[in-house]
Structure 1
Amino acid sequence: MKIDDIDAFVEVIRCQSISHAAESLQLTQPAITRRVQNFEQALGVELFDRNTKPLKPTLIGTRVYEQCRLILREMDALRELVATDAPPTGVLRLGVPQTIGDVVLLDALKHLRTEYADLRAQVATGWGSQLVGKIERGELDAAVALFPAGKIFPDNVVGESIGKMELVVVCAKAQLPKKPCKLADVYQNGWILNPDGCGFRAGLQRTLSDQGLALRVNLETFGTELQLGLVADGLGLGLVPRPLLERSAQREHLAVMPLKDFKPVMDLWLIYPHFLGNLQGPVDAFGQWVAASLHKVREVA
């Protein structure tokens, strides 16, 4: 019974596909099939119902899968035990939200290159839920993401809150109400938001729904600066992190909507798998530099 066979078995169940498992492990499909068959022969049981599509585990296969996850976790712990003291080298796979990547990355990557010269950063962007999924699947070593305080992460993902980020509703200066108001007073103006999948948009939609109000999207587009430009032109309301508003070229043409019943604050989370070995130091430092970058933006503003 080999660890490689266990790894292949777990990946096939996770991906529900031999081809996707092969791609994930960078092996051929025949190699994955052979490893799974070797594992079944070693145990003397059939682990998959091969008459189903997508491929599904048998009842005993599901129980074996749960045990194998524990075994692989312990193997990770063992590797970490012997690897922690070695200097970090190779690739550090990082993830950042699309919304704040242009604000936090430049300084953080510069510090990483200076402090860890033998590490090469590889960066992916995505929504918070996508980044968590990539951590779960072992596709990233760490990520920063925006979630509400008290966010509960999957068992194999560690989450550390490293800062707070205020979100603000913005409008064109000419559209600013003369006195504080509520969402119900302005929601019909419509919104300029990120496409579906954005946590900011989902939070706004929940708040509106709780009040029996509909989310009216005038325009959806990626890019905070583009959104703020459209808001400044009077095409709708925007919802952005305050640090991004403060550094925007559109800042002088915008105003923060004084809403009495909607003042969202998100936590900035550093997320990573339980066992990082000698990458733990660089990951912790990356989180600190990202938090410092956001603080720096507020100070400059």
Structure 2
Amino acid sequence: MQIRSLETLVRIAQVQSFSRAAELLNMTLPALSMQMKTLETDLRAALFDRSTRPPQLTPLGRRVADQARRVLAEQDRLTELCASDDGLNGRFNIGIIQTASVRILPRFLADVARTAPGADFRFSSGLSETLGAMVHSGQLDAAIITRAAPDLRGLTYDVIATEPMFIATPLHHADSSLNDLARSLPFIHFTPASGIGKLISRALDHFPAEPQGIVILDSVEASVESVKYGLGYTILPLPDLERYGEGQLHIRRHGDRPMSRDIALITRATAANDTWRGHLLGRLRAAI
């Protein structure tokens, strides 16, 4: 029997869904199903009723899941007992928005592999609002988000970095006013439900003219590529425009209304989290 299998069982009990649990654990559905069948074999017990779709925990399965939750809690306590003074020891489940992962994760992971070998980091991606709710409910230890919505009670918000946001246009529209752009090109809008997307929507409310059309894309890279090919104009954080723009687009401020986004670390405001929050924040700030 493996601890990983118990973690999976507990997550299934939490969300009442094989497919949702697989998504949260970054597993394929067949792999998760096989893991649970192996656990049933190891325990010589039927934990799930597979006559229904989706499979449901049996009464014994629910009892085993409750006990597994206690086993995992005891494992965490053992990890805490063995923690060293640097505060980063144990298993950390961290959410991160995709727009921050490309800049933060490579340097961060290289750093903690050297400075915090006792820490195991498991990352999952999602929208800022979703990740915030998962931290609030305890499904994640922390999350790296765009701070756009009102803060949730009971959470601590620490800014990792503040990034300016700029307008990007095709090179041949470098001298076009916002009114001209609105008449001649659609606006390339990154996912409106995301943290960045909400900031972009607020900025558009202050534009002098409404764009003739809006194209919604869920990829920052695709948004920038579309601008490079003259298909529209957009607003994005400057580091993304510089990374993907490769000098092939025109970047400008929006008059006297500077725009920016805060990338923030959110955690639950508890004494237990205080032991490692500052150490994690320092590593993240050094990585961006």
Which TM bucket (shorter chain)? 0.5 to 0.7
For residue 99 of structure 1, give the secondary structure of its aligned residue in structure 2.
helix
Report % sequence identity: 18
The match for 1:86 is 83
The match for 2:269 is 274
Alignment of 1:137-286 (within 5 A): 137-148=137-148, 152-177=150-175, 181=177, 183-188=178-183, 189-209=185-205, 214=210, 218-248=214-244, 250-260=245-255, 262-275=257-270, 277=272, 280-281=275-276, 283-286=277-280
For residue 99 of structure 2, give the secondary structure of its aligned residue in structure 1.
coil
Shift of 1:199: 2.4
CA contact (8 A) 1:177 1:257 kept: no
- Aligned pairs, number: 228
For residue 247 of structure 1, give the secondary structure of its aligned residue in structure 2.
helix
The verdict on how the C-alpha distance between 1:168 and 1:207 changes in structure 2, with shifts beyond 3 A counting, is closer
Runs of 4+ in 1 over 4 A off after TM superposition: 31-35, 82-85, 210-218
What is the distance in 1 between the residues matched to 2:213 and 2:283? 35
1:271-292 deviation digits (Å, cap 9, x = unpaired): 01123737842x4333233333
For residue 140 of structure 1, give the secondary structure of its aligned residue in structure 2.
coil
The match for 2:59 is 30
What is the distance in 1 between the residues matched to 2:208 and 2:241? 29
The match for 2:43 is none
What is the distance in 1 between the residues matched to 2:212 and 2:141? 37
Shift of 1:184: 4.4
1:59-81 deviation digits (Å, cap 9, x = unpaired): xxxxxxxxxxxxxxxxx9xx99x
What is the distance in 2 between the residues matched to 1:292 and 1:34? 44
Alignment of 1:63-102 (within 5 A): 83=80, 86-87=83-84, 89-102=89-102
For residue 201 of structure 1, give the secondary structure of its aligned residue in structure 2.
helix
The verdict on how the C-alpha distance between 1:209 and 1:238 changes in structure 2, with shifts beyond 3 A counting, is closer
| 1:289 aligned to which of 276, 283, 286 | 283
* TM-score normalised according to structure 2 size: 0.65
What is the distance in 2 between the residues matched to 1:127 and 1:290? 19
Shift of 1:140: 1.1
> Superposition RMSD on alpha carbons, in Å?
3.7
CA contact (8 A) 2:166 2:253 kept: no
* TM-score normalised according to structure 1 size: 0.63
